Structure 1
Amino acid sequence: MKIYPIGAALFVASLFAGATASATVITFDDLVKPGRYGPTTGSGFVDFGFVFSSNMDALDVSPSGHWWSDGVGNGHSGKYAALNNYGGNMLMTKQGGGTFSVQDLWLNGWQGASQTDTIVGLLNGNVVGSVTATFSQPWTNFALNFANIDTLRINSATNFLVDDIQVNSASNGVPEPTSLALFGLALAGLAVLRRRKA
């Protein structure tokens, strides 16, 4: 079998490019025990490396959850979601700081309440993008496509549920150092292969 180093290098590069563009979906499913709030009540929480403000709780909203789940149905995926339990704006930032992107998320009015909120992406306190969101039940998807933000804020005066927030931690598409190192090793290997054949 004949190996074409340039073609192989391009193939490897495309694999790494795809890896850096992959998204993470914050589902809140790993934080909560069935029928419970979790991991804490009224002090915010961290999930998938993102910090959620102190007015947010993660909880089981399935019909078998608890009294609070009456009329909710379920999370958008699975049995769990995050609840703005104490009113006011929800804030989401990256643990340790830094920028990220948010492609989309799902919102649901608590106990079926209808409301209109504003979803805002911020960088250093400046608005990068803004989407007006009107929702009640069932779950409604909102495409945001906010890139290079350091804060996601949902402006709200009342309670709401959020689930399946799709994020990329490297919003500008620049590969992480580990990916670059692996890519460099792959290219070096291809160069050695080419020299041996010559």
Structure 2
Amino acid sequence: MKKTLLATALAASSLFLAGQASAAPVTYLAADNNVSSLGDMVNSSAAAASFLSVAGSLNVFDFESAVPSNLTITGGSTTNNSGCGALCGFNTSAGGSFFRLVYGGSVTFSFAEAVDAFGFYVNGLQTDIVPQQTIKYVDGSSVTQTINMPSATGGGGAFIGFVDFGQLISSVTFNATNDILGFDDLRFGRSATDPNNPSNGVPEPASLALLGLGLVGLAAARRRKASHS
């Protein structure tokens, strides 16, 4: 019985660790063509709702105040006017006006504390003209993950969200190539089921490994005690 319990605990920790090493992102992507406000982004908003229902409570940044200390943004500039209307991007925050304008090139979002969930609205998309846009990040195991954009034309909008359960993502880069885009309403942090999120009460991989070692030590101690009695 003891051997069975020990084997089960070690197998569980091994499977958990293996699952973490081979994790792949679950994506929540949707787009709308020819948009000029969040109200036009029906598909995008539905994807955002699905993402949040899984990711749970996350940090939110809407560009209406200073960038928080746990987030760094490199590339683009914060503005309330793209210079060419909704075709080049706009604000999506209720009651807000500011957003991040990226005039070609790329924008990188870096996190002081690693995350496993990230989502945002982007608009001004013309993927029929600029189809090669991608989102890339390293998932904490030296594996580079690439997420391809959903198609949106005529200054379209999209929601891009993903959860890479339990991974340690320190930055995410969006390559806009030659497009002019607006980014807004960032959501980032530890997902509701992330084992590295202390509020979830789920054992971390290291804790599971220690549990296995502890059970090994306990079994050995009991064998020694039995042999001396």
TM-score (norm 2): 0.48
- CA 1:74–1:162 in 2, change beyond 3 Å: closer, same or farther? closer
User: Quick check: which one's helix share is greater?
Assistant: 2
Q: What's the Cα RMSD here?
A: 3.0
Mapped to 1, the partners of 2:116 and 2:77 lie a distance apart of: 22
Look up the SS of the partner of 1:30 in the other structure.
coil
- Within the candidate set 81, 106, 121, 1:106 is matched to 121
Q: Residues 130 and 71 from structure 1, CA distance in 2 versus in 1: closer, same or farther, beyond 3 angstroms?
A: same
CA 1:123–1:145: 2 relative to 1, 3 Å: closer
Once the two structures are superposed, residues 57-88 of structure 1 have per-residue CA deviations (whole angstroms, 9 ceiling, x without a partner) of 11113xxxxx7153357312232211113x32
Change (3 A) 1:157 1:74: closer
C-alpha displacement of 1:24: 1.4
1:148 & 1:124 partners in 2: Cα distance? 5
Q: What amino acid does structure 2 have at the position aligned with 1:157?
A: T
Instruction: Select the structure with the greater relative contact order (CA < 8 A; seq sep ≥ 6).
Output: 2
Of the structure 1 ranges 160-169 and 136-145, higher mean CA displacement relative to structure 2 is found in: 136-145
- Contact 2:120-2:187 at 8 Å conserved across structures: yes
Q: Is the aligned partner of 1:129 residue 2:164?
A: no
Q: Separation in 2 of the partners of 1:48 and 1:174? A: 19
Q: 2: distance between equivalents of 1:169 and 1:88?
A: 28
Work out whether residues 76 and 164 of structure 1, in 8 Å CA contact, stay in contact via their aligned partners in 2.
yes
**1:154 to 2:177 alignment:** no
- 1:56 aligned onto 2:91: no
Quote the residue 1:76 is aligned against. 92
Structure with bigger gyration radius: 2
Structure-1 separation of matches of 2:69 and 2:92: 17
SS at match of 1:126: coil
Aligned residues: 132
Matches within 5 A, 1:142-181: 142-146=160-164, 147-158=167-178, 159-168=180-189, 172-175=195-198
Q: Percent identity?
A: 15
- Paired with 1:88 and 1:79, the residues of 2 have a C-alpha distance of 23
Flag structure 2 segments of 5+ consecutive residues without an equivalent.
Answer: 1-55, 200-229
Q: Give the partner amino acid of 1:29.
A: E
Higher relative strand content: 1
Aligned-residue offset at 1:139 = 2.4
Q: 2:90 touches 2:182 (CA, 8 Å); kept in 1?
A: no
Partner of 2:21: none
Q: Matched residues in 2 for 1:149 and 1:28: separation?
A: 22
Matches of 1:68 and 1:174 in 2, distance apart?
41
